[in-house]
Structure 1
Amino acid sequence: MSVRHGLLALLSQGPSYGYQLKVEFERRTGDSWPVNVGQVYNTLDRLERDGLIERGETDGDGHVFYAITDAGAAEARSWLEGPVVRGAAARDELAVKLALAVTLPDVDPEAIIHAQRVATIRSLQELTRSKAAGGDPDSPEEFAWQLVVDALIFQAEAEVRWLEHSEARIRRLRARTGSEGAARGATASAPRTAPAELPATTTASAR
């Protein structure tokens, strides 16, 4: 999540002060990602340093208003219009944990998969209930929040599929080698420059 670019996008709509930006950021993202007001002001300081915003007037309550510069508006447009680039070998803690587990002689990777699957399915159920209990889907705040929840649901579904896929691969390897410990240490041969298989990021189902 880019608070930096989110603030620039908000400032492209007109001057605002720090706490106002915090409230608007949270409201427009459906209160999905609360941000600390200190983080907002630290980000504003960096944006000002980089010439992307500038300080404007101070109102009677002492609020310092910030306005976007031409350079800041260009960066905001570039962020909004461009794709989010994710590295092919982005570090995923679960993938790293499982990759290490299959190389360790005293660790059962299937137990790790089972524990994670239970936790992920529980999270998926909570997200689904939360979405179903939402408010007016036509309100901008509710619609923004549901978009975020949809993304989290799709990610959880993809994680469950990847866990099942990984478990099946481990079992096939054990069946071929005829050893319960065969999956452990099996990847200790030639190193890879990038993972051969990564969890899917989307699902075929839609809500």
Structure 2
Amino acid sequence: MAGRLKAPTGRYGGRSAEERQAERRRRFLDAALQLFGDTPGYRGTTVAALSEAAGLSTRQFYEEFRTLEDVLAALHLQVNDWAQEAVLAAVADAEHLPLADRVAAIFRAYAANVTGDPRRVRITFVEIIGVSPRLEEQRLARRAHWIDLVCAEAEAAVRRGEAARRDYRLPATAFIGSVNGLLHDWNAGWLDATLDEVVEELVRQLLGILRPPGWPPPSA
């Protein structure tokens, strides 16, 4: 495209072009976390305001992103990746624990990561909603990823003899809906409960899915 700005090449200030580009991208995403996740929110933010908050120019913005929606998409994935890293670390650390303790440790890790910064909750459960078909597809894809993770942990519990043998896809989908709803409502102040109480309720729900009435069978 004629007149399109090109990203700089070569080294400058001891850093490569790739390092400088990664730094600019990080600064835009940090600024987006603040503006999208707090005030004024995604819909109230302009390219100029985001660039100013990042300490960069609008020209540099368009070297990294096409639209503000691209920034929101990248930020949503980043917030989910942070939560996933926390969960996978908790899964590894809790490997030796009994089922109830393992489930509690995993969800405490997830809840602490997501709610430790209220801006992450807003990005995950509020700002991403209703923006465009593209972001709705991304949101549902990430939700499916969490459902897959719950199913994988449930199947691991089945192999250990700790849970009922069943198809977990439907109950895992319902459970993730509960996680999203409870954490959103808690963060919004709509629930008179502590975070520990919310996590305990989620743990009870998941254990009820894994060990329904009648489990274990009499022959076990």
Higher strand share: 1
> Could you say whether these structures have the same fold, taking a TM-score greater than 0.5 normalized by the shorter chain as the test?
no
TM-score, length basis structure 1? 0.31
TM-score, length basis structure 2? 0.30
Higher helix share: 2
Could you say which structure has the larger radius of gyration? 1
- Looking at both structures, which has the greater relative contact order when contacts are Cα pairs under 8 Å and sequence separation is at least 6? 1
